[in-house]
A and B are shown apart, each in its own frame.
Chain A
């Protein structure tokens, strides 16, 4: 299993031993958090509180608190939803697909990426919920539950219903996959707590680890389950955003009614997901001093994925423009003319700059191995991806078939507030995760320490 060429560069640097791994990663759980952590938490919780106020106002008064109108029925709400779902793609991709492809470099980053996935999906799910006119009924009417309304059933033709299934399945599987991975690491923390004599922590982490004992049979089952879940998750990575794209592709609105949406959306999701993983990990490795575990090599590999997916997205944009012209459909043609040169052209060109041009900088090795450049570009990519969804949703709707209904959309403070709410939620959850959970999968990393650490390398050369 652990066959690898000793000529390869080690994935974990700094000559770490198995013990170092446990120590480096567990100590963040065991020590008091730094002041910086308190500051970050304070900001996140304030954002969350303000966001909750905005959510409350929308739920109490009606969707009219947002800037939507008779023509533009979705704007920031669904833009944010798709954006967060997209971000939520990287985690599972890294854990599942890369696991199946035996890409060991994923081991340092998958834990945080999966956590990010789960929090992003929670943020994403909040939008379809809040955007409903009658959430108090919609949250269960959209489920195919047996009911006392006679033969009343959900509409299986509706892509929104497919969404309900896709997102809830994805969330469940991701959560289970993530938690299973956490179990041995919780056990490590428990064991260390026992040694350190901290009974409370030992009890809590014992419960969290389900009393993990680490027997060979347990490990065997653990790995089987991980493989099975990886197998299950793999199609989900593709299906979730495919279905999200069908929210648009199955409609009749020019600019939405497009067959290339599924691959285009999946590529975009991976693109934005990796960018978000980079943003978060660059901060985490610095704050938690994990430079030896998350190395420049990791960052470079992820940047390469960003080039690939960014280019796919770019080709998709150009294909859309080409088809709009080539099809000869007046409305499709106008929809894209309007994107490029209409009142929302600024959004279109922001999208093009951030998503198509900026990732191409990663062709230069110096840039893709630069922490600062990567950090900046990872944020730029996610700004671009937000604009992509805004462009698709708002510019398609605001001028469709009948010109009398053409309008503009202007966000209100509540549109913005709801977006801030999810940022508050995401970062609060992420900082709690970073403090109380092992941010790197110790069990897996330990498996590559031997084969890839410098020490082993040196041994091999003797």
Chain B
């Protein structure tokens, strides 16, 4: 063998195999010797020339200079690109929410609920979510002012103190006007001020007054207070015109409690039954099981009737009056009585008499101590309507010398605001502390701007013994000063520091019997944001003259003419945050209108208006003794015939570019009943005028056309059945075996994805979702979604990634495709949050010519903005129509400056989330399942060398949802909340990572299941707690 192996050599050198040869054997060519290096070659010369030329050319171009000042010394707790979170409190008048503020590089960019709070329990609302943008409102005051002139704080203090001592010297009257103040430290400051100037009176009022309720409780229980409510304990809820899910007292708390009673699963097949009697269709009415349309003038009679029905059962004396033949009322009374001890009756009226009777009913039902907690009174609405009215009369008659408006705007938002504004010229010193000028600030002598709440220290006591702290999340942007500090300085305190005041107060008030040192105690309170001290339970005894109340009702209400309900809507609310485009462009939960002010009218009362594409006419509305106003008509299914609804919060004149000139101010239309503000008005003249208008609505089609693939619902009585199955299960025939129909999901042209690690999914419970819209705002803030303004919404181009579809039921036969377009007279309502469904067989992905939208290895349908060329085929081919195209450049574009402030003003841009690209024009965008949050969660887990835990990644919409309707998580993880909720398991046990999954939760369904796109979002069908209708 050895012999036969021939060896060939490359050359004689290889045969010799000298060490020199071996060294260079790998190089094919001989290495150039040193003598061949001629120094700089011609090529080098050209290279250097080229570099030199381009360097000179580049140096000649001036790059735009953007001021960004780096940290010279990095603060210990700030890492660029890492978010910091601070617990704080949202306080806006009497509205309260315990929050966590997300900051990036010292800028608050997002607000989330604080789970540690026993009051709001992690819930938020649209207004809370949006308030972060109000911090960056361009209409904010840039410092103190005297009249129109800028002034220094020192000069302002000198002048104010001079005038104050002058007034005090001659015994002149001083008033501090505010909304309800939740802060005990602020109240202490005001007390200090009062001590210095004893002629001072503090007057509180509320835009949405509960004065009647305060008085009723005083009469009933001897104490003017508003109790806490616990809807979660109620099996039967009867609401007479109280929109407790939208605006009444504390909706953030109530939605959470209410949702608990509405959630059902196989183990808990029981839910509350909710009766609503109202004129306007409110969010509460939309979620009710039984909704009865009534006129506002009937509210009293209905309460009387209910009282009598219950009293008859309880064996108590009935009172005179009442309304016969109110649909569902007798049934409600029966059920209330059957469920006494776990029932609740609420009424929205601000009339003392009505509230006394409601107290009487609740007393008979044994609600006190269970669903109503009088031992835990709330401080949200302490406004005194009478005191405020007296004050305004005094101002008018020139009896007042000094007025301080503490963060309130009564010239705009009090019914007598006009008179107050005119009377202010009689006042020698008037001063407003709001952080914006606003209508009241326009008429005062001095503006001493307070910080925005996100810049300020503060505390709050929303409920008895439930305290919370507010801490600054940013250095004050402008030279504003805490109003409390101002009051202290004006009271003669030399080194006023409100932070120290709050801290010392907490030390004196709460730092008792602690094992911790004070600093640790304080740090803990600050970290948690809340301090909750025990409250002793105590019973109350009802003792009020119900007969007198009933006769007051009988004499106070007469049905005549059109009746007007003045309400707060779910978006701009009382108008204090009207200059916030996030709220203006948030579709009203019911009407889906944005940027518009309108009068809601029953379809029967405006037959001449077709309301095709929201095209409508103006109507003139005249309240006796008031100036007539004209507003466009919005045809509202469910509105009681003969009633009108107009929202507060519009008609601002000095709020800023966003809100000024939108709609009409209807505070002046608010009347008086029984000494308190009355938000319903009778005998209103309503005339449609010929002028036309188009309202901007994000949804112009009202019904779901009987398409069960979109909305699935059932009755509780059916759901209780052990073998209950959803009614709608689409099946398809196949060519190979036409006899046996199969699930559409089991057929596919594609091989199907396999997700080896995470498989992100979302479950949305249609039974929990109340349609409030907090998630929409949260999504907009988190993902830098552009606001586009009224005109563009009319062009149907809103950019929202997440929308809440609101469908009305129709009385028509589902086969009749014409008539089913029309909503029923008193429709049932269903809300459906709709966002990118992250289809596993995504129709958008296959049609993109440049692969700009693709599928991730974790089931996300991802959009690569940089790659998008904007053919829009993906949006056309999206069966859910959730993709949004950048029709224009929405940032840095003067066309959108007044509607999209977050992307067009230097101040507004501070709110942008640096983790999310601001999209350029011409590209498509859509929900990303908050991919930046997923990435951040995964990176944290990776750094800590552990697995990502369930609940670590929470999407913005989920975080904002008070009802817990949205659950996001990994469906590959059998232990995750979503997997357990859906009872999800792999379709093929041998291949658990395959995309195909089976849900054993009988309520789980996917929208448009039969087209086989296999979404990663499951909906849980709606269950209504009502009797089966007799066919």
Contact = CB atoms under 8 A, between A and B. Distances in A.
B796 A158 contact: no
Interface string B879-917: 111011111110000000000000000000000000000
A67 B876 contact: no
Contact of A154 (B806, B850, B875, B886): B850
B252 to A, nearest CB: 26
Contact of A404 (B709, B797, B805, B921): B805
Q: Is the interface of B mostly helix, strand, loop or mixed?
A: loop
Nearest to A164: B849
B873 interface: yes
A133 B868 contact: yes
B877 interface: yes
B850 A251 contact: no
Closest 8 CB pairs of A and B: A133-B870, A133-B922, A64-B887, A138-B869, A69-B796, A73-B872, A404-B805, A405-B881
Contact of A70 (B704, B796, B867): B796
A407 B700 contact: yes
B876 A253 contact: yes
Contacts of A405: 699, 701, 880-881
B48 interface: no
A330 interface: yes
Contacts of A157: 846-847
Contact of B834 (A133, A137, A164, A404): A404
A172 interface: no
Contacts of B1007: 402
Contacts of B876: 73-74, 251, 253, 397
A70 B805 contact: no
B266 interface: no
A240 to B, nearest CB: 17
B843 A62 contact: no
A134 interface: yes
Nearest to A412: B795
Given A158-B847, A160-B849, A161-B849, A403 B705 contact: yes
Contact of A401 (B795, B818, B924, B1008): B1008
B838 interface: no
B427 to A, nearest CB: 50
Given A251-B847, A252-B879, A131 B871 contact: yes
A141 interface: yes
B805 A402 contact: yes
Contact of B872 (A133, A400, A401): A133
Contacts of B883: 70
Contacts of B849: 142, 154-155, 158, 160-161, 164
Interface in A64-78: 64, 67-71, 73-74
A153 B867 CA distance: 11
A61 B893 CA distance: 10
A138 B871 contact: yes
A337 interface: yes
A157 B834 CA distance: 27
Nearest to B846: A157
A247 B707 CA distance: 27
Given A62-B889, A404-B834, A74 B880 contact: no
Q: Is the interface of A mostly helix, strand, loop or mixed?
A: loop
Contacts of B869: 132-135, 137-138, 141-142
Contacts of B870: 63, 132-134, 138
Contacts of B701: 399, 403-406
Contact of A341 (B699, B818, B886): B818
A220 interface: no
Interface string B122-150: 00000000000000000000000000000
Contacts of B880: 401-402, 405
Given A64-B795, A68-B885, A134-B870, 4 more contacts: A67-B795, A68-B887, A132-B922, A400-B879
B91 interface: no
Interface string A377-410: 0000000000000000000010111111111100
A399 B703 CA distance: 13
Interface string B688-710: 00000000000111011101011
A337 B703 CA distance: 17
**Residue from the set A133, A152, A250 with the largest chain B CB neighbour count within 10 Å:** A133
Nearest to B847: A158
7 contacts: A63-B922, A70-B797, A73-B873, A73-B885, A134-B870, A141-B850, A402-B1008
B862 to A, nearest CB: 14
Contacts of B803: 404
A161 B699 CA distance: 33
A326 to B, nearest CB: 13
Interface in B213-256: none
B922 A402 contact: no
B303 to A, nearest CB: 37
Contacts of B889: 62
Contacts of B806: 404
B843 A403 contact: no
A152 B851 contact: yes
A455 B883 CA distance: 69
A253 B795 contact: no
A337 B817 contact: yes
A407 B796 contact: yes
**Residue from the set B613, B701, B710, B877 with the largest chain A CB neighbour count within 10 Å:** B877
A159 interface: yes
B586 interface: no
B457 interface: no
B871 A160 contact: yes
A61 to B, nearest CB: 6
Interface in B817-845: 817-818, 832, 834, 843
Contacts of B832: 404
A402 B848 contact: no
B871 A71 contact: no
